[in-house]
Amino acid sequence: MTKTTSTLSRRSFLKRTAAGAGALAAPALISSKALASSGELNFVGWAGYPALAEKVIPAFTAATGITVNFKELPDQDTMFAEGKVALEAGGIDLMEPTIDRVGAWDSNGLLGAFDEAKLAMDNYLPGLADGAAGERSRPGGALKYVPSNWGTEALVVNTAGAKLSSPPSLGDLFNAENQATVRPHSALAAMGRWLDATGQLPRPWMDGYTDMAAMVELWDIALAKAVEMKGNVVQWWSGENEANAGFTANGATIGLCWDSTGYNLRNDGYAYVAPAEGAFAWHQGFVLMKNAANVDQAHEFAKYISTAEGAAGWATAFSSNPVGKGASDLMSPDVAAYYNGTFNDEALSKLWWWPDQSADFLAKRAEYADKYKAA
């Protein structure tokens, strides 16, 4: 396998794909109200990223005096369940799902609205908090979501052992000569996209995200084919730690995993590869819980992560892309080199952003994932 390199940086990609980047914003000032109260923030986020608790959150506390009580959970289905409990019991101020879940969280009554006057919306890189993303962030018109980082889900491959097509494809995940680690619902989506790309579906795969009848028709086909080709799966994953273990403990030669998995394994004989069909792309951010007790502190935290320093730290912790202007200048060159080795111009042009997924869709998708695992 030959890994294609490119001089295109994540910063230049963001500038090229959103018009009018403008000058870099100065770091947002911390409000006097939040400083006066200091206080605390109850934040529920992702497990498997130690730098969040070890570096970024302490830096925020040093800047604001606000103590963050950080609870780590492995995936956002677990976060959603925790958020539903907190709707009655309280105890959570801020959580961090992906943008495609915002509508479902809001329709279940979990979310409060941010006060844009308490944020610094000009800090964000163009295209991440405005435009189409801005519309998705405002179900019902009120701001319910602000970005924290973004990245991809693509192929992590053992460069010596994986059997790859030319060019590499999502179909390689289901090759019996490979040992695979996959997240069940992502694997089914990958199967659907591969079947679509090879002309094996009766209608476009994307139809299933807007019409439930189409969803059932298409996911039935993807599930049947995935079950038929399931024999090479050596581990399911739902969070970063499990994904890493699929390779390091259970001998996977290929996986459909996040950027961070590939980055963590990059020096151990693994590469992060964009499939011919396009890498899955995700957009992650903060939501304010409807019954949040520490509202000003939550705004200060979200605002801090939009600054160059905060955005660089958050993205570095996730081995992902930052959301704040000027943040790329503060990030490790190792991360930039890693991304440039995977995403040339063609790969970037093929990014497949997870579409909005309704509560009904997510419930049905979970049924398919359970059937896949149990088959």
Residue-wise pLDDT for 254-303, tens only, equals: 999 999 999 999 999 999 999 999 999 999 999 999 999 999 999 999 99
Predicted confidence band of residue 99 (pLDDT cuts 50, 70, 90):
very high
User: Which residue range forms the structural domain that includes residue 178?
Assistant: 152-280+351-374
Asked if the structure places residue 342 within a domain, the reply is no
Task: Tell me what pLDDT residue 337 has.
Answer: 86
Residues 35, 137 share a domain: yes
Asked if the structure places residue 63 within a domain, the reply is yes
Asked if the structure places residue 2 within a domain, the reply is no
How far apart CA 349 and CA 356 sit, in angstroms, is 20
**More confident: 346 or 15:** 346
What integer is the mean pLDDT of 54-70? 97
Nearest alpha carbon to residue 362 among 72, 74, 79? 79
What integer is the mean pLDDT of 144-168? 97
Residues 226, 128 share a domain: no
Residues 310, 361 share a domain: no
Residues 239, 169 share a domain: yes
**Lowest-confidence pick of 144-153, 296-305, 340-349:** 340-349
Residue 283 CB-density burial (10 A; 0-12 exposed, 13-18 middle, 19+ buried): buried
How far apart CA 78 and CA 327 sit, in angstroms, is 30
* Cis? peptide before 167, omega within 30° of 0: yes
Residues 159, 270 share a domain: yes
Looking at residue 176, the DSSP 8-state letter turns out to be T
Please, what's the largest Cα pairwise distance for the chain? 61
Task: Provide the CATH number for the domain around residue 261.
Answer: 3.40.190.10
Residues 53, 108 share a domain: yes
Residues 105, 248 share a domain: no
Task: Tell me what pLDDT residue 345 has.
Answer: 83
pLDDT > 90: what percent of the chain?
82
Asked if the structure places residue 7 within a domain, the reply is no
Residues 69, 92 share a domain: yes
Residues 201, 67 share a domain: no
Asked if the structure places residue 304 within a domain, the reply is yes
3-state DSSP assignment of residue 336? helix
Asked if the structure places residue 90 within a domain, the reply is yes
Considering its fold, how many domains does the chain have in total? 2
What integer is the mean pLDDT of 316-342? 90
Task: Give the chain's mean pLDDT.
Answer: 90
Residues 293, 144 share a domain: yes
Residues 45, 134 share a domain: yes
Residues 6+ apart with CB under 8 A from 359: 103, 104, 107, 108
pLDDT > 70: what percent of the chain?
90
Q: Please say if the pLDDT value at position 32 is more than 80.
A: no
Q: What pTM did the predictor assign? A: 0.79
Predicted confidence band of residue 24 (pLDDT cuts 50, 70, 90):
very low
What integer is the mean pLDDT of 229-237? 97
Residues 125, 249 share a domain: no
